[in-house]
Structure 1
């Protein structure tokens, strides 16, 4: 990820904080390196006392599209190392830290309920459920993310840890905006494939992430939520 974007997002978040004690920080790490991931989790716990929720969003595309028979194995290994192994390393370290914590409770209109020790949300993809011609390495890696999500949610439910995934299609990010400027054909592809003819706004993904992290989703675990405006429901002919 671009470090400048991370710092800018961190600083911007302060404007929307309602808690007077809200603090923010950034940390440079490499999801392919187990020690780097462990250091990140340790840093957060040391700085803030506990780890209530994590959102794992690191990932790369497979670049040039090619049929599976023409897959560049070195590139496949790179994509899997970041998107799959990196996701696993993050979930592993986060769950290990969360299960040491004291569970929290939430008071609702029906009384007090246990909401567990922490929440993990993986940013997967609509490609976790459907393929796209020539995008094999990415699609395989995102299918694997769903396996990680399901197994972590299952294994750590007794620890009071929930693990879910959100699965968006195209999202309006600085990277997509740059791509749209360089290649106007991308907008045509989005219009042809997405029923509402546009990419998702960032908030249309982040609001779902916030819901999954909240007590409102305390009975949702090992699940995935598609954020694709119905892209994956049928074949689009025009």
Structure 2
């Protein structure tokens, strides 16, 4: 039986893309929120291991344990091995956050987009979340529902698990110079809606990550456009995206 306050976490989490700007903050936020176990995975195994060590120092759960691993989100065997490792180590999976993705190689009109870049972006940004949702979903559907003690609110069934896909505002609108990226994020919405289990999607606009810095380098007008289009007139910080993932994480069912 778990005892927890609203928007505090217990249980076990997988963070895929843990070495990235958003994934790193998700790992830190979930450790602070009280998860008792976490598997941090990324295509960059060394960087993922570093984030895992940093998250350990932030963990609020005295029973916290963790491990890190390399995963290729486009490869079904690699994904299945990651999920099997989590189950073997922790016994169950309560949360899975897909916080990885890549941008297009060139900002060009659709007519000039190469098939190689289209396949690369769709393979990582769309196939990856699908493979992970499929593998993690199997585990969540097979495990017993968890219960939590919300104090004055009493005991509640919090379900078998929750998956969060970190997507983009490009899941809702289009940018002609980024056709593969826009297509991939629209497709993530389809993966999220058709999952057959509880999956939420977070769709931030510009986030202060290396991808944003690269976009500013390629398109110097980006900060000016952001100032005009964004109510807060600045890029979103990665920890703010992580907070949104935390918000939808506890209400699992």
TM (normalized to structure 2)? 0.76
Report the equivalent of 1:43: 85
Secondary structure at 2:165's aligned position in 1?
A: strand
* Deviating 4+ runs (over 6 angstroms): none
Report the equivalent of 2:48: 6
Q: Is the 8 A contact 2:48 2:69 kept in 1?
A: no
CA change 1:170–1:8 in 2 (3 A) is: farther
Report the equivalent of 2:159: 116
Say whether residues 1:145 and 2:203 are aligned partners. no
Secondary structure at 2:101's aligned position in 1?
A: coil
Report the equivalent of 1:86: 128
Deviations 1:117-150 (A, max 9, x none): 1110011110000112311110111001011101
Unaligned runs of 5+ in 2: 1-42
Stretch moving more, 106-115 or 141-150: 106-115
In the TM superposition, residue 71 of structure 1 has moved relative to its aligned partner by: 2.3
Report the equivalent of 2:15: none
Cα RMSD after superposing both structures: 2.1
Of residues 117, 120, 125, the one that matches 2:168 is 125
Report the equivalent of 1:233: none
In the TM superposition, residue 181 of structure 1 has moved relative to its aligned partner by: 7.3
Secondary structure at 2:203's aligned position in 1?
A: strand
Secondary structure at 2:97's aligned position in 1?
A: strand
Deviations 1:73-105 (A, max 9, x none): 221111111111111101000001111211111
Q: Is the 8 A contact 2:162 2:252 kept in 1?
A: no
Query: 2:211 & 2:46 partners in 1: Cα distance?
Result: 13
Query: 2:207 & 2:245 partners in 1: Cα distance?
Result: 14
Report the equivalent of 1:230: none
TM (normalized to structure 1)? 0.80
Query: 1:61 & 1:129 partners in 2: Cα distance?
Result: 16
CA change 1:129–1:9 in 2 (3 A) is: same
Secondary structure at 2:51's aligned position in 1?
A: helix
In the TM superposition, residue 187 of structure 1 has moved relative to its aligned partner by: 3.0
Say whether residues 1:15 and 2:51 are aligned partners. no
Say whether residues 1:25 and 2:61 are aligned partners. no
Unaligned runs of 5+ in 1: 157-161, 220-238
Query: 2:115 & 2:212 partners in 1: Cα distance?
Result: 26
Secondary structure at 1:113's aligned position in 2?
A: strand
Query: 1:97 & 1:83 partners in 2: Cα distance?
Result: 22
Query: 2:97 & 2:185 partners in 1: Cα distance?
Result: 15
Report the equivalent of 1:74: 116
Secondary structure at 1:168's aligned position in 2?
A: coil
Report the equivalent of 1:211: 247
Q: Is the 8 A contact 2:160 2:252 kept in 1?
A: no
How many residue pairs were aligned? 210
